[in-house]
């Protein structure tokens, strides 16, 4: 990644449209509910995403969410994202996503993605994937991540996915309480854990974890900065300024909107470069 040419690195973007696999409309009601919740039905292709970020001179980390076991929906392949990153290394980094229910087979896939496809980290969504982060079934995947000293992003807090559906689509918010990451952080100190999003209604728990465990980071994706809890801005400006990361949650929230609101959300000028780019460079070994 040509970091000297970039104004920022977005640590949290999604691919939700495959150009390789036919569309799987099973469970499409989750998409419609998310469209209503986020007031955004735009789902760009991989090439549209690359063009968008290159035009803005923003590097980005991209992934999908493999939730085949819990949702019964065919995933977008990790290889589609890894191949795009390999073809656009100046602007893009690929993270993988593996359903934790795949256990040892998931661990084998993680190793192949890292060693043969250049994947530089992994994404987990405990609510959508239907697991608690410390469940031992996920450990074969964590072991590969820790062995290679790579980061793992975990969704935290409320989920727009399932919001407004009958019984929330059967998805459990409690799986995304950040305190459930503590056992993972202790068992795998060489795995850098990124708590994604303001963790409402557990923001203080996320801050406490990051204060206590040096392998825990927080990304600021999924919300407009104008809605951030004041204690999150306070600690981003002070004690956690070296472990706070810019993330948008694109395409659900765009960097254009996020960065505009970021300038007016109370962040100190001297911490902004770290949040926007320098912290991500250190985390990703750039």
The model's pLDDT over 175-226, given as tens digits with 9 standing for 90+, comes to: 999 999 999 999 999 999 999 999 999 999 999 999 999 999 999 999 999 9
pLDDT tens-place string over residues 96-126:
999 999 999 999 999 999 999 999 999 999 9
Rounded Cα distance between 208 and 203, Å, is: 9
Phi, psi of 36 (to 5 degrees): -70, -40
pLDDT score for 230? 97
CB of 213 closer than 8 Å to CB of 184 = no
In this prediction, residue 49 carries a pLDDT of: 97
Contacts made by residues 213-217, CB under 8 angstroms, sequence distance 24+: 213/182, 213/185, 213/186, 214/243, 215/185, 215/188, 215/189, 215/190, 215/191, 216/181, 216/185, 216/192, 216/243, 217/151, 217/192, 217/193, 217/243, 217/244, 217/245, 217/279, 217/283
Q: Report the percent of the chain where pLDDT is more than 90.
A: 89
* Fold type of domain 3-284: TIM Barrel (3.20.20)
Are 252 and 160 contacting, i.e. CB atoms less than 8 angstroms apart?
A: yes
Per domain, the residue ranges of the chain are 3-284
Would you state the pLDDT for residue 254?
Answer: 94
pLDDT tens for 64-80 read: 999 999 999 999 999 99
8 Å CB contact between 233 and 267: yes
Residue 22: pLDDT band with limits 50, 70, 90: confident
Query: Does residue 41 have a pLDDT over 70?
Result: no
When mean pLDDT is compared across 7-11, 27-31, 231-235, the lowest value belongs to: 27-31
């Amino acid at each position: 990644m040509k970091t000297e040419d970039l104004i920022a690195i977005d640590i949290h973007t999604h691919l939700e449209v495959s150009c390789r696999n036919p569309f799987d409309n099973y469970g499409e009601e989750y998409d419609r509910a998310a469209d209503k919740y986020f007031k955004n039905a735009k789902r760009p292709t991989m090439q549209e995403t690359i063009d968008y970020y290159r035009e803005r001179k923003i590097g980005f980390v991209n992934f999908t969410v493999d939730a085949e076991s819990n949702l019964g929906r065919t995933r977008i392949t990790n290889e589609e994202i890894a191949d795009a990153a390999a073809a656009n290394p100046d602007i893009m980094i690929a993270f993988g996503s593996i359903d934790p229910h795949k256990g040892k087979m998931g661990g084998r896939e993680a190793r192949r993605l890292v060693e043969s496809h250049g994947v530089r980290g992994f994404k987990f969504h405990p609510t959508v994937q239907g697991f608690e982060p410390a469940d031992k079934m996920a450990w074969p995947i964590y072991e590969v991540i820790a062995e290679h000293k790579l980061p793992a992003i975990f969704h935290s807090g409320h989920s727009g996915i399932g919001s407004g559906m009958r019984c929330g689509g059967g998805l459990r918010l409690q799986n995304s309480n950040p305190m459930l990451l503590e056992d993972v952080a202790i068992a795998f100190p060489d795995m850098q854990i990124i708590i994604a999003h303001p963790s409402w209604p557990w923001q203080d728990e996320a801050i406490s974890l990051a204060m206590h465990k040096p392998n825990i980071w927080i990304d600021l994706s999924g919300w407009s900065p104008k809605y951030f809890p004041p204690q999150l801005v306070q600690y981003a400006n002070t004690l956690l300024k070296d472990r706070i990361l810019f993330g948008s949650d694109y395409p659900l929230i765009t960097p254009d909107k996020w960065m505009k609101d970021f300038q007016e959300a109370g962040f100190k000028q001297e911490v902004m470069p770290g949040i926007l780019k320098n912290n991500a460079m250190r985390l990703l070994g750039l």
